[in-house]
Each structure stands twice: as C-alpha cells, then as structure tokens.
Amino acid sequence: MMRHKRLEHRFVEHIPEHLEPGVLYVSIEYATAAHSCCCGCGDEVVTPFTPTDWKMTFDGETVSLRPSIGNWTLKCRSHYVIDCGKVLEAGPWSDEQVETERRRDRAAKARFYGRPPKVELHVQPALPKATRGFWRRIWSRISGKL
C-alpha cells in the first residue's frame, strides 16, 4: 500500500540532503530526480534521466516519470508509476522478473553506449575426440589441430 498517493514536484538545481516525503525533486541541470520512497519507508529513490533510464515529462503543471519505479534493492520492494503527479501502485515482481529486467537493462545500456552486452555463456564440455564428426576429424588433420 502506497503511503503517498501524490507527489508535489519541485525543480531544484541540487537535490537536497534531506528529502521531504511527498515531494519529487527534479534537477534539470543534473538530469535526475529524487524522492523519498512512496511506500513511506523513507528510503531515497534516485531516477536519472538518460536514454536508457527514466524519462521525465512536465506538462506545465505536473510531472510524470517513465518507466515504473521498482525499488528491488530496498527492503520494501515497492513498485509504482508517477503519472501526472499521482502515484499509481504497480504489482510486485518476482526475483525472476527483476533479473530478466536487469539483463534487458544491461543490454540496452551496452547497445546505446556502443559496448557489446556481457553474454552469459553456458559452456558445455567438449566432446571426446572419438565422437567428433567425420568432417571435423578431417579438418583437424588438414589444419594440424589434432
């Protein structure tokens, strides 16, 4: 259950050291927002604005953040969307869903920043030489790789 159903936004240059509950601090200069977790636990939630992280929309009156905010590393594990200043509770995610999203996020960052994503390799043991295929055995002999 979300304790805070709405967030008042404040545009600031620097995010304050103490975050007032129910306030979304937005720093355009540093392309980030921060707020006290909407569940009421008091933990700080930081949402950087980047092509691979969150997007902030200001419609002249309210602020929205996309995608949802999943506080998977916090004890509360709260999950919500900030839409036009309203806090909309989203369903909980399993550990498997969180890990899948983390992999997708790492791959998106790697693609955007020009690095190949880390691929989790599942190495299978090599086949014994006797069970190698005919053409592989021939190629091994020709290339000198016995």
Please state whether beta strands 63-70 and 32-36 pair in parallel, antiparallel, or not at all (unpaired).
Answer: unpaired
- Residue of 103, 104, 56 lying closest to 81 (CA atoms): 56
Q: How far apart are CA 60 and CA 120, in angstroms?
A: 44
- Provide the domain limits for residue 45: 8-112
Res 112: pLDDT: 87
132 inside domain: no
Straight-line distance from the first to the last Cα atom of the chain, in angstroms, rounded to the nearest whole number: 65
The answer to pTM > 0.85 is: no
Q: What is the total count of domains within the chain?
A: 1
Length of the chain: 146
Q: Write the burial class of residue 7 (CB in 10 Å: 0-12 exposed, 13-18 middle, 19+ buried).
A: buried
Residue 118 lies in a domain: no
Amino acid 145: pLDDT: 55
Average pLDDT along the chain, 146 residues, taken 10 residues at a time: 92 96 97 96 96 94 96 94 96 92 91 69 51 64 63
Residue 113 has what pLDDT? 87
